[in-house]
Structure 1
């Protein structure tokens, strides 16, 4: 539930930020009411594209069984992890000029294509955020069944409500948290979630590898636990469960799990270290 709530919250805030920037921009132009309708129409179509993608992914998952389904779910988890790292890196590079770039593209499209160009720009922006949300949610829900899936869905709805509240607070007052602080905190949690999705995907792949013919050392690296801290911090519930969901913690990690987790953080640290954190301008 907490995973789905955070994912929907973070991605919805970013989508609402884009819509807010575009609405503020068209509000200062002639025929602002007509142009606003194009923005909202593009947002609605972008949401529809995301829903269609979710339907296709669910149909594909249901059409597969056994090993094929395991590989499919593992692939989605790995893709979700990669998208998270890519998204955080993109924000580091473009946060400072996000508002200027977006309004410049909006002006260019409006001049060339009129309101339709503005609609397409909004559609692409919202559908990108929505598609990322779909992939993240599917990757995070791969291990869930029954009641847990119901709570996962409730978390997603709660995340949307929380996003609306967050945007309202960020627009209305900076006493609680500013846009730069919001994105810095949420990006750190996203990177933790990326590690959790990567570990989850690799564990599914490891399960398939164990059914293959490998030398004994490979089996031990894939399947044998290096240690067991379950008595101190169980990864099935409580704080350990939260760390498992959001950081990829395992009480009994295999050599493969440990190498993948450490490798992820080494690569992320090396990729992001040269980039300076940039502040995101508050939309007006």
Structure 2
């Protein structure tokens, strides 16, 4: 449940940021943006509709597959979700400093030509990107769960928290700023991606698709059990395993090496782009 709330919260805040930037530009440039508001909200609705269509497609594919096919599909979606999380963090590391300017420039170009349909497409793509990522992340996280009511409540709670967070961030502050928000959530997202990666690899090992290497390198369940309490939180958000297989440990370590290198490269690219 915590994963669902966190994903909805984080992605909703980012989507609100994008829409907020575009809305503020239209309000501040009424001469160019006059008549653009309906297309802004139309783009938001279209982006949400595309995300919903993706969710229905994933559910349809899962229902169409047999039991074994669903196992592979769920494992694959967990791995795809992990890759998308890393891609999103790297993209924000590279473009976060210039995101506002890039969005405003794109909107300005469309508004100057009175190309309001182009404006709608711009907003639709921006919202659909966040929504689609959320759909994939959530599917990779909750695949196979039957507790739909709790998942729905967690999602609603995450969205309400996102509205409150966005409001506070817009007020500005020393301790809670957009810079702090992205730095903290970047770390949490990378931990979550590691957990999704482990979940996918665990499924593949359990199905015999991947060799375990050594089934159980150690057993730390006596100190920290992954089925409840702090151990479960670490398992859900960081991929902790009390009795990991060798293959799982090697993949997890490789993930952090590759991710660290990608972030260092993205950070250098971001500095160059800003300059």
TM-score range relative to shorter protein: over 0.9
2:26 match: 26
1:62 match: 63
In structure 2, C-alpha distance between the alignment counterparts of 1:209 and 1:109, rounded to whole Å: 53
Alpha-carbon deviation of 1:142? Answer: 2.0
1:241 match: 232
Q: Secondary structure at the match of 1:250?
A: coil
- 1:121-200 matches, cutoff 5 A: 121-145=122-146, 147=147, 149-200=148-199
Alpha-carbon deviation of 1:65? Answer: 1.9
Offset from partner CA, 1:55-93 (integer Å, 9 cap, x none) = 111111111122111111111111100011111001111
Which consecutive residues of structure 2, in runs of 5 or more, have no partner in the other structure?
none
In structure 1, C-alpha distance between the alignment counterparts of 2:69 and 2:204, rounded to whole Å: 11
Alpha-carbon deviation of 1:230? Answer: 0.7
- After TM superposition, the structure 1 stretch with the greater mean CA deviation from structure 2, 102-111 or 224-233, is 102-111
1:49 match: 50
Aligned match for 2:213, one of 221, 228, 239? 221
In structure 2, C-alpha distance between the alignment counterparts of 1:68 and 1:160, rounded to whole Å: 32
Q: Secondary structure at the match of 2:242?
A: coil
In structure 2, C-alpha distance between the alignment counterparts of 1:220 and 1:15, rounded to whole Å: 40
Q: CA RMSD in A?
A: 1.8
- After TM superposition, the structure 1 stretch with the greater mean CA deviation from structure 2, 1-10 or 63-72, is 63-72
**Structure 2 length-normalised TM:** 0.92
In structure 1, C-alpha distance between the alignment counterparts of 2:166 and 2:211, rounded to whole Å: 49
**Structure 1 length-normalised TM:** 0.90
In structure 2, C-alpha distance between the alignment counterparts of 1:188 and 1:60, rounded to whole Å: 32
Which consecutive residues of structure 1, in runs of 5 or more, have no partner in the other structure?
211-217, 280-284
In structure 2, C-alpha distance between the alignment counterparts of 1:20 and 1:168, rounded to whole Å: 11
Q: Does 1:258 align with 2:245?
A: no
Alpha-carbon deviation of 1:22? Answer: 0.3
